[in-house]
Amino acid sequence: MRSTSIKEILSSDPASQNVVVNGWVKSFRSNRFIALNDGSTLHNIQCVVDFEKIDEALLKQINTGAALKVTGTLVESQGRGQKVEIQVSEVLVHGGADPEVYPIQPKKHSMEFLREQAHLRVRTNTFSAVMRVRSALAFAIHQYFRENGFYYFHAPIITGSDAEGAGEMFRVTTLDQKNPPLNDDGSVNHKEDFFGKETNLTVSGQLEAEAYAMGLGKVYTFGPTFRAENSNTSRHLAEFWMIEPEMAFYDLNDNMDLAEDFIKSVIKYVLTHCEDDLSFLEKRLLDEEKTKPQAERSEMALIEKLKFVSENSFKRVTYTEAIQILRNSKPNKKKKFQYRIDEWGADLQSEHERFLVEKHFKCPVILFDYPAKIKAFYMRLNEDGKTVRAMDILFPGIGEIVGGSQREERLDVLKEKMAALEIPEEELWWYLDLRKFGTAVHSGFGLGFERLVLFATGMGNIRDVIPFPRTPQNAEF
Ligand code: 4AD
Ligand code: MG
């Protein structure tokens, strides 16, 4: 007989039908009840077994974490909290989990401990809930773009360009590290490397997406990106997933409209499709926040916060206005910011972004028209000659979740900018071609997928919303 998923069983009628389920033991009690979970849902199915009738050797193996196949009859449950349960006629142990050594026991484990058990942590309620929400968000993203006329575009992972110009790249090479071929001046001869040039893992698929937007109209990437920045924070990963839509004939306003609509739409999707998991995560967050001082607790519970964001307009503010607000803010005057805001042109730190969102506006904020000096080379220069058509979306508890811009489509202006930043034209000849042949206004943005998952799940650390996090000094698993 084919086995049924627990999710399916829990929503079916107890018509005394015979069922087979597979899953892992969550808990067992009173020598009668086994709670089984197979990952299809947060909820367990209660299996009622007469332990006395089970062979002793088999019984010994029925511990938390053991994988079982259970055959029995689905009946109306006598207990509270569930509609149906299984009266078990046969138990088969696929594999036991020795309680002496199995790390995931039915008690509260710290997030730090679970990170060291990243291969097993998905068997906890918290991580299975997070990963189901993550999966649903990924689906919602593809669905949104599909319904809005975008094509899914696959940017290369190995590239020769540094799109963001921050130099935070992982090198890709097959040269012998101990004995690389050298040029006459002693530098490494990359002509002998696999690709005949220096290459790295991509920090962004944007430049390539621009090429495709200028032919397909509207495209988006959804793939892994890599940054070798040594930021050991709860918001940074060395390998993260980014969604980058790129649209021909969109200006910055169109870009902001799209970004806002997109984020609201995918949050609405999880609100309607992940109710159980979100309720569980909301409760988890409330419990966690009880341990924090009042001032650090969030004002809204998780689901209320998600609804708030999906139903209210984001506040749009220029960088210049934001600087005014920050300069006159209490924490700035009282020197509470680690980085004081004195002058126009200062780069905003996470503390400033969070002040604007959490204390001042109390809603998501889109900051735009940033100083050219603190943004990437490809952003379109404004008439004032000193700001660019950039936009960042800032979220409560997260800070920057989206970074985007209208792109510089004018060949001469782009060339000037590259020259000023000493970016050789030979390296980006193809990118300049896009401005030579049929150039047009175009825009796009990048959404950090894990930052979105952080927001949607209320988790506190980005390491806990990706299956196997990559951070400085950490690539186990
Ligand atoms: O602001 P960023 O650097 O923008 C770009 O890469 C542009 N090329 C995007 C575009 O216009 N197509 O990165 C975009 C987003 C950030 O807002 C943040 O959410 C996320 O990517 N991000 C990270 N997420 C996790 N770990 C890191 N180290 C991240 N760096 C950026
Ligand atoms: Mg950014």
State the Cα–Cα distance between residues 97 and 290, nearest whole angstrom.
33
Query: Would the CB of 163 count as within 6 Å of ligand 1?
Result: yes
Query: Would the CB of 164 count as within 6 Å of ligand 1?
Result: yes
- The predicted pLDDT at position 341 comes to 94
Cα of 254 vs centre of ligand 1, distance in Å, is 20
- The predicted pLDDT at position 95 comes to 96
- The predicted pLDDT at position 84 comes to 94
Beta pairing class for 158-159 and 151-152: unpaired
- Both structure tokens of 398: 């997260």
237, 242, 452, best to mutate for ligand 1 pocket (most atoms within 8 Å of CB): 242
- Nearest alpha carbon, ligand 1 atom 22: 448
- The predicted pLDDT at position 388 comes to 98
In angstroms, what CA-CA distances link 176 with 43, 172, 188, 191, 471? 52, 12, 11, 13, 25
Query: Would the CB of 190 count as within 6 Å of ligand 1?
Result: no
- The predicted pLDDT at position 44 comes to 96
- The predicted pLDDT at position 2 comes to 86
Please give all residues whose CB falls under 5 A of ion ligand 2, grouped by chain where several chains appear.
403
- Residues near 404 by beta carbon (within 8 Å), at least 6 away in sequence: 255, 259, 390, 391, 392, 443, 444, 445, 446
What's the gap between Cα 174 and its chain centre?
31
Residues in the chain where the model's pLDDT stays below 50: none
Query: Would the CB of 250 count as within 6 Å of ligand 1?
Result: no
Ligand 1 atom showing the smallest separation from residue 447 Cα = 15
- Are 231 and 350 in contact, with CB atoms under 8 Å apart? no
Mean pLDDT of the chain: 95
Find tokens 């199995």 and name the residue: 102
Q: Helices 411-420 and 429-436, interaxial angle, to 10°?
A: 150
